[in-house]
Amino acid sequence: MQNKDLQKSTFYFKYGKRIFDIIMSLTGLIILSPFLVVIVLSIKLFDKSPVFYKQDRVGQNFEHFQLIKFRTMKVSGSNSGPLITTSNDERITKIGKVLRKFKLDEMPQIFNVLKGELSVVGPRPEVEKFVNLFKEDYKEILKVKPGMASEAVIVFRDEERILTQFKDLEEAYIKEVLPKKISINKDYVRNISFLRDCKIFLLTFLRVIYFRRRWL
């Protein structure tokens, strides 16, 4: 039996990962609830736009679901323009820039985790357009639930800076970034473990703190 088949027979893969998701997401929801309220009020008062933004993403076994985020773009621009954005995108609101800087726009995805559409840790979910371009690779990657925290996101923490060097953002993402993310995600899927998930979660948290220091 191959290594990728062995790990799928482990207790953690079959049961523990979901237990980990529920415990971490419920704990996070309790701790972060005051911040969630402040963000909701800020978006309502200053941007005067819908608080949440939902986007169709491809989940486990190619099942589609609505990924929930705090709205960071103007309503008129969220459904137009390229799928890939950078920090200087004119569609992003003032509050949106702050939320994106600290990854706070992704906090509502806790509800996706509780619904069983996401894991706390796993390959980041992609839109159908990008999944279809690398469908054979995603047949392996999407055997597991996508996640909020991802090893690929940690590696590509300067993704926006990398993409700003190119004129066509989507083409750059498809040719320069996505293939490398796919390679990282496939390695994760083949070697899932409790300790690895804890490490990725911790590194993601430290990454946010690092950007906070740079911001200040």
- Mean pLDDT, contiguous 10-residue spans, the chain (216 residues): 55 92 95 94 87 96 97 74 72 88 90 97 97 97 96 83 80 92 96 95 78 43
Instruction: Identify the pLDDT of residue 216.
Output: 38
Domain residue limits, the chain: 3-215
pLDDT value at residue 80: 59
Cα distances (angstroms) measured from residue 123 to each of 56, 65, 182, 202: 16, 15, 9, 16
What pLDDT is recorded for position 197?
96
* pLDDT at residue 129, rounded to an integer: 96
**pTM, rounded to two decimals:** 0.86
What is the pLDDT, as a whole number, of residue 206? 81
Closest CA to 200 of 183, 184, 213: 184
* Beta-ladder partners of 65: 57
- Going 136 to 119 to 208 to 92, the CA torsion angle's sign is positive
What confidence score (pLDDT) does residue 48 get?
80
Instruction: Give the model's pLDDT for residue 1.
Output: 40
